[in-house]
Structure 1
Amino acid sequence: MNLSEQTLLISGISGFIGLRTAELAIARGMKVCGLARSAEKAKKAQKLGAEIIVGSVTDPAIASKACQGVDIVLHTAGISQESGSLKHFREVNVGGTVTMAKAAKSAGVKIFTHISSAMVYGFNYPDRVTENGPLRGENNPLCQTKIEAEEALLQLHAPPDFEIIIIRPGDVYGPRSIPWIVRPLHMMHQKLFALVNDGQGVSNHVYIDNLIDAIFLAIEKEAYGEIFNITDGQNTSWKEYFTRLAKIADLPVPLSLPKEEAKLFIRVREQGQKLFRKKPDLVPETVDFLSRPYAYSIAKAQRILNYEPKIDLEEGMRRTREWLRNTDIKTELNS
């Protein structure tokens, strides 16, 4: 499929993945429209030339309106934080995904590409785990609802009229990434960031533009009904990742804490913040995310899509450093 002149709807267009996808899609000659939670958050996408509809992915009327006249839907909207209410996660990550997919199907949209997460494998998985799993909910709302959303979505797959593609990204970093760039740097500046078990866990990093390349490849190659793990294909330790991150911000390498000590510290801090009615900036579950021991396999994407990450970690960090020079981290964290 030739993507130029196709109309692409991006749910969550004001988010990290959605906004950069809009920018690169417009550069490829695509017509881009987007669904955003608020007009304020959508201003950057509007400046790029995207048409915006304001509303929630859980609202059937809004979803139906957004899908009219669209060729492809890229569903990026969802909750991706480490913890929270399972009910709320399920409402957005499962209910919102199904609502958008049903609206797209009813509107005659041919292709629905869903941004899931490699967190469907949980925290304990085989080395180089493939798209065949196993999948593990881990009693974590993010892991669990990403699994449920995929299962519900695949039931709507109805070739050749309505085709589903599912992308499972790893740890997406780059300019504007809250979990892997902005928040860690903010914590480092406050001297509150520490490596877990000397950073021995594996970072399944993927630079934002590499991820978007994979998304476009999957659509171009009409890989319908398929699921793909997408990372940079490296076996990078969190120690190396965060050492590089500290370096581009001219900060010292973070100290290390054993896993259980790190969790205890975060629990105490979390309770203190709640006592003063502040939203916790870290949760104990973060430690589990930083303790994953293995890399995910991207062999399927390499074989079927000819996917090869173009931007390595050194170049990705260099681009991120350029962005940081003109960015206030605290403002970005609260945007």
Structure 2
Amino acid sequence: MNLQDKTILITGIDEFIGSRAAELAIAQGMKVRGLQTSNTKDQKLQNLGVEIIVGNINDNKIAQTACQGVDIILHTAQLAEEAGDIKRFREINVNGTLNIAQAAKQAGVKTFIHLSTVLVYGFNYAENITETGIVSGDNNPYCQTKIEAETEILKLNSAPDFGVIIIRAGDVYGPGSIPWIVRPVLMMRQKLFAYANDGKGVMNHLYVDNLVDAIFLAIEKEAYGEIFNVTDGEKTSWKEYFIHLAAMEGLPAPMSLPKEEMKLFLKVRHQGQKLFRKKADILPESVDFMSRPHAYSIAKVTDLLNYQPKIDLEEGMKRTHQWLQKTDLQKLMK
């Protein structure tokens, strides 16, 4: 499929990945429509010519309206938190995803890209796990509902009329990334950040532009019915990543704590925040997300789509640092 002059709907366009995907889609000569829940429309995107619709992916009428006249949908909207009530996760990650996909199919949309996550494999998985590997919710609502969403979405695949592609993204970082840039930097500035178990294991980082490149390749190749793991393909330890992040900001290297000790500290911190009715900045379950042991295989996306990550960690951090220097991170966390 030639992307030129195609109309793409991006859900979650006000979020980190959706916003960057919109900018890069415009650069590819695509027409972009965005769906977001926030009432605040991004002036920068509107200046680029993006049509923004405010509404909820669970709203049938909004979904139907948003999908009219669209060739491609990139579904990035999700509830991405480390823990919480699974009913809330299921309402957005499963029901909302299914609602927008069904509306897309009814509207005659040709391509539906579902942004999933490598966290569908859980926290204890095999080294270089492939797309055929065992998925596991690991009693985590985010992991579990992303698995459920994939299952439901694939049932709708009926290419060439309606083709579904699933992208299992690694740990997406870059300007605007809350979990891998904003939150750790803010905590490092307060000397509150630590990594678990001496930073062993692999941070499967994925620069946001590399992710969008993989998405565009999947659309162009019309890889319908396929699932792809996507990372930068670099084996960077958690320790290396977080030390690099601290050094980039001129901050001291973070310390290491045993995993269970770190969880206990965050649990007590969270209870204190609840006592003073403060929003939790980091949950104990985040330690599981930040201590996964192995790399994920990207052989399939490399072989089938000829995906080659163009931006390595050094360049990605350089671009992120430039953004950090001109951004008030506290505003992003409100």
TM-score (norm 2): 0.99
What is the identity, as a one-letter code, of the residue corresponding to 1:290? Answer: M
Are the counterparts in 1 of residues 41 and 52 from structure 2 also a CA contact under 8 Å? no
Aligned amino acid, residue 191 of structure 1: K
Match for residue 13 of structure 1?
A: 13
Q: Distance in 1 between matches of 2:243 and 2:134?
A: 31
1:70-219 → structure 2 map (5 Å cutoff): 70-219=70-219
CA apart distance, 1:42: 3.9
Deviation track 1:114-146 (CA, whole Å, cap 9, x = no partner) reads 001110000000000000120001010010000
Question: Residue 235 of structure 1 corresponds to which residue in structure 2?
Answer: 235
Q: Which runs of 5+ in 2 are unaligned?
A: none
Instruction: State the 1:15 CA deviation.
Output: 0.6
Aligned counterparts of 1:61 and 1:202: Cα–Cα separation in 2: 43
Q: 5 Å matches for 1:33-48?
A: 33-48=33-48
Q: Is the 8 A contact 1:200 1:239 kept in 2?
A: yes
Q: Please state how far the C-alpha of 1:39 moved relative to its aligned partner.
A: 2.8
Q: TM-score, normalised by structure 1?
A: 0.98
Give the root-mean-square deviation of aligned CA atoms.
0.9
Once residues 48 and 133 of structure 1 are traced to their aligned partners in structure 2, the CA distance between those partners, rounded to angstroms, is: 41
Query: Are the counterparts in 1 of residues 166 and 226 from structure 2 also a CA contact under 8 Å?
Result: yes
Deviations 1:6-39 (A, max 9, x none): 0000000111110000000001110000101123
- Counterparts of 1:146 and 1:44 in 2: how far apart (Å)? 30
SS at match of 2:157: coil
Give 1:45 shift.
2.6
1:264 aligns with 2:250: no
How many residues align structurally? Answer: 334
- The code of the aligned residue for 1:184 comes to P
**Offset of 1:330 from its aligned partner?**
1.2
Mapped to 2, the partners of 1:94 and 1:331 lie a distance apart of: 29
- How far, CA to CA, are the matches of 1:157 and 1:187 in structure 2? 43
Whether the 8 Å contact between 1:13 and 1:45 is mirrored in structure 2 is no
Structure 1 residue ranges, 4+ long, deviating more than 3 angstroms after superposition: 41-44
1:28 to 2:21 alignment: no
User: What is the correspondence of 1:239-254 to structure 2 with a 5 Å cutoff?
Assistant: 239-254=239-254
1:201 Cα deviation after fit: 2.3
Task: Give the alignment of 1:291-302 within 5 angstroms.
Answer: 291-302=291-302
Check the 8 A contact 1:14/1:44 in 2, yes or no: no
Structure 2 counterpart of 1:278: 278
Structure 1 residue 326: Cα displacement: 0.8
SS in 2 for 1:209: helix
AA of the residue aligned to 2:53: I
SS in 1 for 2:34: strand
Is 1:320 paired with 2:320?
Answer: yes
Structure 1 unaligned spans of 5+: none
Q: Percent identity?
A: 65
Residue 73 of structure 1 aligns with an amino acid whose one-letter code is I
